[in-house]
Structure 1
Amino acid sequence: MAAASVFERVLDYANRADPYPLYRELREKPVWREADGSYVVSRYRDIVALLHDPRLSSRNVGLGGFIHQDPPEHDRIRRILDRHYGPPETPDRIDRMEPDLLEIVTGLIDGFTGRTEIDLVDDFSYPLPVTAICRLLGVPLEDEPRFHAWADAVIDGLGPPAHTPEQARRKATDALAEMGEYFAILIDAHRAVVGEDLLSAIVADASTREGMSRAELTANAALLLIAGHETTVNLITNGMLTLLRHPDMLDRVRREPEFVIRTVEELLRYEPPVHFLLRVALDDVDIAGTTIPADATIHLAVASGSRDPHHVPDPDRFDPDRHDLERIDVDARESQHLGFGGGVHHCFGAPLARLETQLALTELALRLENPRLLADPPPYRPNPVLRGPRHLRIGFDRVRPAEEIGIPRSREAADEAARQLG
């Protein structure tokens, strides 16, 4: 029996807690050909080139919706969704959510009062982005048990094709179909009673009726719900795990308000929520001296690329100060991490994920007194693509009341509270 390849060892759950030494091995060669005929690319420069190469396709390799479509179909749908989500036509939608997000964060941490131990995932990192995406989209939060099961099935089916059981892929397909039926009913309800949420804005727009079929609309609504919370769960959990392993950095988040912005960018580089992106070659593609043939599957190891020493100095050191605040929103062709992908598929939800994580880590740092890990490493989720702890047990002495440190309902006031505490 042939020895397992480096990539197969990365996929092995036994290495989920720390795959980074294996990524160093991957980067020893720019391109690896796997036994199943797929290819693995792990260096930053090569990954960025491929993310911007129109000869690579995302069709049928994602969560459904525009994320698995190529231009021009991808661009048509994304333009319609963007009209009501971000600049230039709706530049303030995420900013307007900030008071609500801070209220959710504060309420969840208030719920820790009287306790000295929590599971960060179950008690905080999951309920925060789920509540946020439900409010954004206009999805009833009481339906969470239904779409939680669907999301789990979809995520379980996301692994590399050769390493994902057929049963898991079938369950993912069935879950997406059920979510489509769910959103078809919900979209009709939003058409009948238009609210302030994103789904209402999309379905009420004439450009949606003209530019998207009903099937496209339901598929993309399901995509926004799943992608809008699953990766953020990992980002928040990976973030708190990393800060507890680096208490000097946790202290800086507590004392220096703007430091959390750099911290989240470094987390996206150092402990990203997504480790691989899947593409298919539409034509022969030459990269780093290797010709990848048409129709081949390509695994872009973005978590490896973000730790490429030819791109970032001392890449295995957690150093938020390496990030320039003025360059945080640049395209991945120039950025210091691939945490939000790049090219036409650069993460649609990046602004919301950033804001949620910044608020979450700031208030956790401010309000948990003497926080500490109770298990390290924690147990991880089985999926190698969306990598994060399944549970993260944290102990602390007490929860500081929000009133004690003046937790407010705006970011500016939160910054002032942090300055006073420092």
Structure 2
Amino acid sequence: MTAETLLERITDYASRPDPYPLYAELRDAGPVVRQADGSYLVGTYHEIVGVLHDPRFSADPRNRTIPPPPPLPETRHLPFLRLDDPEHDRLRTLAMRPFGPPHSPHRVDAMRGEITRITGELVEGLRGRDHVDIVDDLAYPLPVTVICRLLGVPGEDEPRFRAWTDLLIASADISPGEDSAERVETGRAAQQEMGAYLLDLAERRRGRPTGDLLSDFVNEPDPQLRLTGEELAVTAVLLLVAGHETTVNLIANGVLTLLRHPGELERLRREPGLLPQTVEELLRYEPPVHLRERVPLADVEIAGTVVPEGTSVILALASGNRDPARFQDPDRFDPARKDNAHLGFGSGVHLCYGAPLARIEAQTALGALLSGLGTAALVQDPPPYRRNAMLRGPRHLLVGF
């Protein structure tokens, strides 16, 4: 076991229940550690933030040459999450337009009442049961229902896009493997199918506005601010997938963490005003996104190490969140933590687009569960985890009462 095998060990499924000792090993090995496959792993907070704010690093995987990337879709229309400025800024700005200008009521804030109502219905359905699966019964259906309402996707089609989403998430996994090319190909096909489905929904609303995001996209009156058909399809897929995937993990990781810390759970029940701070601490302590990739567009020095142009640079965001050089007593779960500038939503120009929605959903879900969690116990600890090393969270979280 050497530092050059850290990425392989971190992404190994056996490490999924507790990767944090490996992150500590990464930080001890140095801010930047070259891996056996030629990539570089960065695990310290300040260096991660530096890369995320440095325009010399690209989010576009097509710029990667070391190690050679798997086959990528032959299209310039990647989701804006994987593009660089100015194209990233243009598409992200157009995608945000339907949410309203800063001086008008925010569309997500306007959803608070609806989110509370949906959460109440889901929690009511748990009453009287001797055990529940937090993922299947709450953490998944809540954000899926909300993003479907925002976009204007019929709820009865949820099984279709859940299958597509699973394939897309698998294709985006940073874990190496012999099947990586196959995963990319099946993910590409899933994205095309989902994009065509969402574009068809939008086209049905052309000239007949219905008040949802797809309708707003297709009925934009200014031709200069209008998304092309392919751009609309790719953007809608991104919003649908990103609009629920990370929030599922945030809520499930949150319940798991609170049940593992009964003292903090009881404090939160006594002081529900701590809920917003608790969600921020969960985003630091057990974040839904663990790894991100960047590619230098030139030879760039990071903390004394020169990283060659085109090299895959893996940012271990979850390691940065536990960096003692930035956070006091970082391995302690502290809902009242001050100065909590975590990396749970990333940083820089690619700061998570859906962060406001995820915060509202997590606060609402955890708040609705507080009264019942006091009599709850984990059926299995650690729970079974999802395969993806980049988006880490339980596949199921069984809780007994």
* Common fold: TM-score over 0.5: yes
Please tell me the root mean square deviation across aligned C-alpha atoms, in Å. Answer: 2.0
The code of the aligned residue for 2:353 comes to F
Q: Does the CA-based 8 Å contact 2:3-2:33 persist in structure 1? A: no
Give the whole-Å Cα distance in 2 for the aligned partners of 1:207 and 1:303. 41
Give matches, 1:343-354, under 5 Å: 343-354=348-359
Tell me if 1:336 matches 2:350.
no
The equivalent of 1:272 in structure 2 is 287
| 1:235 aligned to which of 250, 256, 261 | 250
The equivalent of 1:51 in structure 2 is 52
| Change in CA separation of 1:279 and 1:395 when aligned onto 2, cut-off 3 Å | same
| Change in CA separation of 1:248 and 1:208 when aligned onto 2, cut-off 3 Å | farther
Deviation at residue 207 of structure 1 after TM alignment: 4.0
Unaligned residue ranges in structure 2 (runs of 5+): 63-71
Tell me if 1:17 matches 2:17.
yes
| 2:216 aligned to which of 186, 198, 201 | 201
Tell me if 1:384 matches 2:389.
yes
The code of the aligned residue for 2:317 comes to V
Q: Does the CA-based 8 Å contact 2:298-2:309 persist in structure 1? A: yes
Unaligned residue ranges in structure 1 (runs of 5+): 325-334, 397-422
Deviation at residue 3 of structure 1 after TM alignment: 9.3
The code of the aligned residue for 1:213 comes to T
Give the whole-Å Cα distance in 2 for the aligned partners of 1:392 and 1:208. 47
Q: Map Cα deviations across residues 169-203 of structure 1 (whole Å, 9 max, x no partner).
A: 11111111111111110110222421122222232
Q: Map Cα deviations across residues 307-355 of structure 1 (whole Å, 9 max, x no partner).
A: 100000100000011135xxxxxxxxxx521000011100000000000
Give the whole-Å Cα distance in 2 for the aligned partners of 1:43 and 1:56. 17
Larger mean CA deviation between 372-381 and 4-13 belongs to: 4-13
SS in structure 1 at match of 2:113: helix
Give the whole-Å Cα distance in 2 for the aligned partners of 1:315 and 1:118. 31
The equivalent of 1:157 in structure 2 is 171
| Change in CA separation of 1:200 and 1:208 when aligned onto 2, cut-off 3 Å | farther
| 2:267 aligned to which of 252, 267, 290 | 252
SS in structure 2 at match of 1:278: strand
Give the whole-Å Cα distance in 2 for the aligned partners of 1:118 and 1:87. 41
Q: Map Cα deviations across residues 392-414 of structure 1 (whole Å, 9 max, x no partner).
A: 00012xxxxxxxxxxxxxxxxxx
Deviation at residue 86 of structure 1 after TM alignment: 5.5
Tell me if 1:137 matches 2:162.
no
Give matches, 1:18-417, under 5 Å: 18-28=18-28, 29-60=30-61, 64-85=78-99, 87-88=101-102, 90-160=104-174, 162-163=176-177, 165-207=180-222, 210-323=225-338, 336-368=341-373, 370-396=375-401
Q: Does the CA-based 8 Å contact 2:250-2:287 persist in structure 1? A: yes
Q: Does the CA-based 8 Å contact 2:207-2:219 persist in structure 1? A: no
SS in structure 2 at match of 1:77: helix
Q: Map Cα deviations across residues 248-299 of structure 1 (whole Å, 9 max, x no partner).
A: 2222222222211000000000000000011111111110000111111110
Larger mean CA deviation between 192-201 and 30-39 belongs to: 192-201
Give the whole-Å Cα distance in 1 for the aligned partners of 2:154 and 2:223. 22
Give the whole-Å Cα distance in 2 for the aligned partners of 1:363 and 1:372. 17
Deviation at residue 157 of structure 1 after TM alignment: 1.1
SS in structure 1 at match of 2:98: coil
Give the whole-Å Cα distance in 2 for the aligned partners of 1:49 and 1:103. 41
The code of the aligned residue for 1:376 comes to D
The code of the aligned residue for 2:205 comes to H
Q: Map Cα deviations across residues 362-406 of structure 1 (whole Å, 9 max, x no partner).
A: 11012455111111000000100000000000012xxxxxxxxxx
- How many residues are paired up? 386
TM-score when normalising by structure 2: 0.92
Larger mean CA deviation between 284-293 and 251-260 belongs to: 251-260
The code of the aligned residue for 1:321 comes to A
Moved over 6 A (4+): 1-4
Give the whole-Å Cα distance in 1 for the aligned partners of 2:266 and 2:2. 48
Give the whole-Å Cα distance in 2 for the aligned partners of 1:301 and 1:86. 34
